[in-house]
Each structure stands twice: as C-alpha cells, then as structure tokens.
C-alpha cells in the first residue's frame, strides 16, 4: 500500500536539484494511451518545472510497453542524453501476458542501465485493473510520471556530483 512517505508525487520541490543542464530521453508506450499520456504530461511538466528545457527533451513513442527497452536503446544512441525515462501501463488481463511484459521491461532496463552507465527509469504501471492505473496517473496515488521525472533528475545529479567529487551527495 502506498504511504505518504513512499509517494514521491508529494515531494519537496526544494530538495530536487536543478535540471537546467540535463538532457532526458523519454520513451512512452501507446497501449492504454489515456493513462500513458497523463504519465507523459506529468513527467514533462516536472522536468520543465525543475529547469530542463524543451530542447533538452527527446520523446519517442513505441507501440507497447514491451517495446520500451528497444525504444530506450534507440534513444540511448544520442550520447548527449543524461537519462532515459520509460513510461507505460500494463493492465492484467485473463492471461499472464502482464508478467512476461513487466519482467522483460524490468530486466531490460536494469541491463541497459548497467551497460550504458546511464540511469534508465522504470515508469511502468503494473496494475491489476484500469482504476489502479487511473489512481497512479494523476489520481489519488499521485502521478508516477512525476515521480519518474524526479527520480531521473536525482540520479543524473548523483552522477554530476560524483564527477565533481562533491563530498555530500543528496539529502
Ligand atoms: N502493452 C502495454 O503497454 N500494456 C498492456 O496492457 C498490454 N497488453 C497486452 C496484452 C496482450 C495479450 C498482448 C499480446 C500484448 C499486450 N501489450 C500491452 C502489447 C505489448 O507490450 C507489445 O507491444 C506487443 O506484444 C508487441 O510486441
């Protein structure tokens, strides 16, 4: 169950580093478009609110969530991107398709993060029904696109801090 502490949508804006010099790739799945559009809007608005510019955002649409890792691989060839954010929504149906897709995306993004050294953010809703998705795409559990954006900014800031040998990182 989500709690106030774990719901990053209610984050403290002052604790988020500036994204002014950061460049982000966003891969968004078209399946369940009414949900993924809300995730994308929340994500982009959050990046811009924290200083990112539209010039530094690259957005790619892919058919379904299974294609998120392939989309991330394509965007990853743009070396200037500091992080790739992947957004999708898989809703459980009568079969086990959701488990295969969700595991494939989780494993794929983990591997890409390790291989490239760039943060690959898991913004995939893995829900049991549409209501759970609506709750997490601007509803009572916040917007996971917002949280994905904040996570991306913080992970890029972590890399910048290490590069500049700062002694205190985050918090
Ligand atoms: N893609 C999603 O992003 N969300 C879904 O809920 C979803 N459900 C699917 C259900 C089935 C039975 C299949 C075969 C595909 C589904 N997909 C879904 C599409 C999947 O991510 C991918 O685009 C296709 O399987 C083509 O590789």
Distance CA 82, CA 94 (A): 38
As a CATH number, domain 37-163 is 3.40.50.960
> Residue ranges of the domains in the chain?
37-163
**Can you give the C-alpha Rg of the chain in angstroms?**
15
More confident residue, 124 or 160: 124
Going by pLDDT thresholds of 50, 70 and 90, the confidence category of residue 160 is confident
65 CA → ligand 1 middle, Å = 7
What number of helices (H) and strands (E) belong to the chain? 5, 6
**pTM of the predicted model as reported, rounded to 2 decimal places:** 0.92
Strand, helix or coil for residue 15: helix
pLDDT at res. 109: 98
* Cα of 29 from ligand 1 centre, angstroms: 10
Report whether pLDDT(23) > 50: yes
65 Cα nearest atom in ligand 1: 3
Query: Whose Cα sits closest to atom 19 in ligand 1?
Result: 64
141: Cβ below 6 Å to ligand 1?
A: no
The mean pLDDT of 131-137, rounded to a whole number, is 98
At 159, is the pLDDT very low, low, confident or very high (cuts 50, 70, 90)? confident
Q: Count CB neighbours of 43 within 10 A.
A: 28
Q: What is the mean pLDDT of residues 134-143?
A: 97
Catalytic annotation, pick one of 97, 103, 120, 164: 97
- How much is the average pLDDT of 113-121? 96
Distance CA 74, CA 81 (A): 12
The pLDDT of residue 111 is above 90: yes
Q: How far is the centre of ligand 1, averaged over its atoms, from the C-alpha of 63 (Å)? A: 8
CA–CA dist 143, 65 (Å, integer): 18
Cα–Cα distance list, 104 to 90, 121, 122, 125 (Å)? 12, 14, 12, 14
Q: What is the pLDDT of residue 3?
A: 41
Gap between the Cα atoms of 93 and 101, Å rounded: 12
Residue 127 Cβ contacting ligand 1 at under 6 Å: no
Pocket test for ligand 1, best of 62, 70, 97, 126 (most atoms within 8 A of CB): 97
Helical H runs in the chain? 33-49, 68-76, 97-116, 130-135, 144-163
State mean pLDDT over 38-62.
Answer: 98
């Amino acid at each position: 169950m989500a709690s106030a502490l774990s719901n990053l949508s209610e984050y403290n804006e002052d604790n988020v580093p500036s994204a002014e010099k950061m460049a982000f790739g966003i891969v968004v799945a078209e399946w369940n478009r009414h949900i993924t559009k809300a995730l994308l809007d929340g994500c982009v608005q959050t990046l811009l609110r924290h200083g990112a510019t539209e010039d530094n955002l690259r957005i790619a649409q892919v058919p379904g969530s299974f294609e998120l890792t392939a989309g991330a691989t394509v965007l990853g060839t743009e070396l200037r991107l500091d992080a790739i954010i992947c957004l999708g929504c898989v809703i459980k149906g009568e079969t086990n398709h959701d488990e295969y897709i969700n595991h494939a995306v989780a494993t794929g993004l983990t591997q890409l993060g390790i291989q490239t050294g760039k943060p690959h953010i898991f913004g995939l809703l893995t829900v049991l029904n549409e209501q759970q998705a609506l709750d997490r795409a601007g509803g009572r559990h916040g917007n996971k696109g917002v949280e994905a954006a904040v996570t991306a900014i913080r992970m890029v800031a972590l890399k910048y801090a290490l590069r500049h040998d700062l002694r205190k990182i985050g918090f």
